[in-house]
Amino acid sequence: MAAFPLIGEHIALLILVAIAGAIFVIRFPGPKLASISDLWTVWYSIKGQSHLKAYDVHREYEIYHGSSTLKSNVYETITPAPGAFSTFTAIDRHMHQRKRKVFSQAFSESAISAFEPTIRRHCEIFITELAKAIPSVSGGRWSQPLNMTPRTRHYATDVMGDFGFGRSFDMQTSTRNHFLMKATDGATLVAGIYCQYPKLKDYGMGRLVALLGVATKERFGRLAKMLIDERLSDDTENRRDLLHFISKGDKKTREPFSMNEVWAESRFTLIAGAETTATAISSILFYLSRNPASLTRLTSLIRTTYPSRDDIQLGPKLTQCTYLWASIDEAMRLSPSVVAILWRQVIAENFTIDGEHVPAGCDLGFSSYVPHHDASIFIDPYAFKPERWLASSNPEDQSRLEMQQRAFTPFGLGPRKCIGMRMAYAEVALCLAKTLWALDLRRAKDGVGRIGAGRKGAKDGREKEEEFQLFEHITCRHDGPYLEWAWRSDKAI
């Protein structure tokens, strides 16, 4: 019976904290429930809709949604082990700078250029696996509908396996490691919830989640440890992957990364790097399949620029394919790979928002989905228009382009901006260009052709039929698009 008074005291304390938080934020416009408890944001995180709710809040109250209570060190809740911070979760500025300094070598232009043949190899596997579904001449020209979400995830995971662990997971050619998708889904779901309400980890939710996914987690851990051990025992200098640079540490201080840090960085690179790239490619294919004029223009550009798909590689020629990059940016604007509300803690004593003072220690949240769909910045914000990203000789159009570029934040902003941006663009551009050079695509017919799109009459912001639907859990879950593929009709491959 002694436990019941303790439970009662705990509930009473939570109520007092909620009341205190509500009194503090009541002067800020916003949902009343959000001023009482962070469980409000947890609910939308579980549903994968925090970005859509952030958009609604911004549109209704004309501010960006901020935390309702004081928090600290949110990202400590999603480290794989105590003290095992990655570049993403590092809170201390000096720690982040140290890690970013090492990481910048792995993501430099020269390092990516050295790694490019590996990316191209996985692109070829991606095309080969799609082509296996294309029937012989007697069976018709087009493949059966193929779900692109698992295929893009497998492609991106293989690339990141090579980059972050020193070896591909062979996701595209074997089902042996497909359990990684389940492990990733579980990890990102829990991370998304913890980032909205860190105290849930203290209340025992972490132990419950561990019990539910213990087999998958342990299997992933064993595989990762084996790959890391194998890679670190190989001191081959010409393998300029992530572990090569991590194992060397800071060039000046020679301070090595601990094994916990190595594990944290490799795990983060696999999940964040693979999932965001997969979302970007899936989104682009969704929008191209629903915008025939854009698909025709981009396909024609790639095929007239390159005599063979082996010629497609990073460099000036690909850089000059401006409509390719515009298409990628437009898809990432409409469906950013990270739409989560990412928290930043106020450290300045004189910080204000809209004239209101926000005390140091308060967390503020921001989702890139909000400015990306702001009609005052992007004309017809839910339409897929790559042309909006092309330079113009018209001063008015050029001025709007510059305003759009300032609002475009799929990789974040400032010193915490995604360090892997250059790598992500390389993976997406090479895969898209090579695939469109070799294959024709079209949207699947009937019911499966609508998978991935919004539904007319749906609630909670999911009624837009021409929008690729994302479900936010730090990174994004999605399904589709279902596409049919055929060898390009104008030339034998």
* Cα separations in angstroms, 104 against 91, 185, 231, 265, 393: 18, 28, 20, 13, 35
Domain boundaries along the sequence of the chain: 3-487
Summarised one tens digit per residue, pLDDT across range 234-277 is 765 567 788 888 777 666 666 777 777 777 777 788 888 999 99
R_g (Cα) of the chain, nearest Å: 23
| The most confident of 30-39, 75-84, 259-268, by mean pLDDT | 259-268
| Helix-helix angle 292-305:322-334, to 10 degrees | 140
Q: What is the pLDDT of residue 21?
A: 47
pLDDT of residue 317: 98
Torsion 205-207-211-217 (CA) sign:
positive
- Provide the pLDDT for residue 222: 82
Residues 128, 158 contacting (CB under 8 angstroms):
no
Mean per-residue pLDDT of the chain:
82
The answer to whether 340 and 351 have CB atoms below 8 angstroms apart is: no
Rounded distance, CA 185 to CA 240, Å?
29
Query: Which two three-digit tokens encode residue 480?
Result: 């589709």
DSSP-assigned states of every residue in 309-325: GGG--SSHHHHT-HHHH
Question: Is domain 3-487 in CATH 1.10.630.10, yes or no?
Answer: yes
Q: Looking at residue 240, what is its pLDDT?
A: 73
Pick 366 or 93 by higher pLDDT.
366
Please give the annotated binding residues for heme, written as ranges: 418
pLDDT of amino acid 359: 80
pTM for the full predicted model: 0.83
Locate all alpha helices (DSSP H) within 233-364, ordered by sequence.
242-248, 259-268, 274-289, 292-305, 316-319, 322-334
Instruction: Please give the pLDDT value at position 78.
Output: 60
Q: What is the CB-side half-sphere exposure of residue 39 using CA atoms within 13 A?
A: 8
Rounded to whole angstroms, the Cα distance separating 453 from 443 reads 12
Comparison of pLDDT for 101 and 157, the residue scoring more: 157
Binding residues: 418
149 residue type, one letter = T
Distance from the first to the final alpha carbon of the chain: 76
Here the tokens at position 409 are 């934040």
Q: Residue 64 pLDDT > 60, yes or no?
A: no
In terms of Cα–Cα distance, which of 353, 77, 29 is closest to 197?
77
